[in-house]
Structure 1
C-alpha cells in the first residue's frame, strides 16, 4: 500500500486479518479473569475446596498473569514475539484442558497458575505485534484502541459466557472453550503474523525480572489478605514488602541503559494519564463484575 500522510504504509487485508487472529487469544485471556464467577458454586459442590482454596481458585490466574507481564514482554523482545505467542498459546490450551478436568482443588489452582503464565505471554506479544502490523500512525492508534476495548470486553463477557455454558454443560466447559481458539491461533499465526524482535534489546536483566515479580506478587497477596482478614500484621508486612521491592525495581529501571520498561514513555504526560485512567477503569470493572455475580448467586438466588 502507498505511504500515508501519517508516516507509514497503510495496512492491507492480510494485516487486518492477522489483527483479528491476534484479538481472539486476547479476548479469551481477559475472559478467563472472570469466567469462573458463576461457576464457583458448581466447583464447590464437585471439588469441595476450603475457603482459602476457593480464593486461590479465583485469584491465582490474575496473580500469575500480573506478576509475569513485564518479564514476558521483555522475553518476547529478545526471542521473538510471534515465537513467544505460539509457545504461550500451546501452554494456555494445555492448561485449559487440565483445568477443565481437574479432580481436586489443588489441581485446579495449579492449572489456573499455568493459565496465568500462558496468558502473560499472550498479552504483551499481541500488543507488540500490533505495532509491527500497523505502520500508519492513525491505523495503529485505531488498532490499539480496538485492542484495549477487546481486553475490557473480555473481562465483562467472561462471567456471562460462564453462566451460559453452565446452563448446558458442566463447570469445566468454561475452560474448554479456550482450546479451539488456541488451535486456530497456532495454525494461522505462522501464515499471517510476521515475526518481530527488538533489534537492540540489551542484556536480559535477571535481577529486574526477580524484582518485578517480587514487587507485584507480595503486594497483591498482602492486599488480598487485608481484604479477607483485615489489616493483620502479616498482611501489612506482605504489602509493605511488595512496595519496597517495587521501589527498588523502579530505581533499577531508572538507572540502567537496558531497562525493561521505557523511561521515555512515562516522561510523556499523556501516557501517564492514560495509564492511570486504565488502572482506575480496570479496578472498577473487576470489582463490579465480581460483586454483581456473587450478589446474583448468593443474595438474590
Structure 2
C-alpha cells in the first residue's frame, strides 16, 4: 500500500515551462545552411533548464515542472520559489500571473530577456513585459552576446556578431563576494525601484525587488549553463543562496539526499549518495519504531534514535519506516 497509494511530498520549487516558449525557441533555431550564424534558442532553453535542475537536485532540493496553463490557474500558490528559464517569449497573461504570485508572497527567479517577445513571437519595444518591469523594478537597457569560458559550444562566429569576452557577473550589495558566470547573453538594466545585485563592465546585470509580500530576482544571463556546462562552484553557490533565502530547505540526511513517499503511518525513504566515494551516516529516525532496509530485506537496529547507513559511491537504498 505504501508504494501503491503513498504520495511524494510536494516540492518547494517550481520550474515554469511554456509550450509557447518552446515553439518560439524551436522556430528560432535554424537548422539550415546558415545554422552556425544563428543562436540555437531551443538548445539554450533545454540546457539552462538542465543546469537549474542539476544544481537543485544535487543539493537535495526537489523540483516540480509547472506548465503555463497551471500557472494561469494559480498553480504556483503552494511553491516558495518559481524559476523562469530563458523566458524570451512570454505572454501578458503569464506575466501578470507571475506578478500576482510574487505579490502574494512567492519568490520568482528569472533569467535574461523576460518577455522580450510576446507569446506570438512579436518583439516588445520596451524589451520586457510591462508586468515584469513592475515586478523587478527595472527596465531593459542593453543585450550582448558573450564568449565562452572554454571551447566553442554555442558562440556564433565573431565575424558575424559582436561578442563580449568571457564575462563573470560580480555580486553587489548583500551579494558582494558572490559571482555568476555569464553564458550566451549579458543583459543590463536601468534600475527603477529595485536593487542591483550583479554588475559587469557594462552596468547592472542583476536586480532584486520586493513586490507585495514576495520578491523577484532578475539575472541578466542564462544561469543554468554555469552548472550544466562548467559546474562552476561560485555560480552554484549564488543560485542556491537565492533559493534558500526564500526558506527552501534541502531534504538530506547528512551527505545523503533523501526522497520520501508517505502513506498513513508509514514512510519510504530513498537515500542517495551523490558522491564518488563511500559515505557513512547516522540517519535520524525519531518517531519511528521500526526501520527495514527494503533492498537488503532486513530490519535495522535503532540506536540513539538513529540507524547507521553506509552507501557506496552513487549508491541508493530504500528504508521503510513505521510509526
Alignment TM class, shorter chain as reference? under 0.3
Which structure is larger by alpha-carbon Rg, 1 or 2? Answer: 2
Larger relative contact order (CA 8 Å, sep ≥ 6)? 1
Where is the helix percentage greater, Structure 1 or Structure 2? 1
Query: Scaled by the length of structure 1, what TM-score is found?
Result: 0.25
Relative to its length, the structure with more strand (as a share) is 2
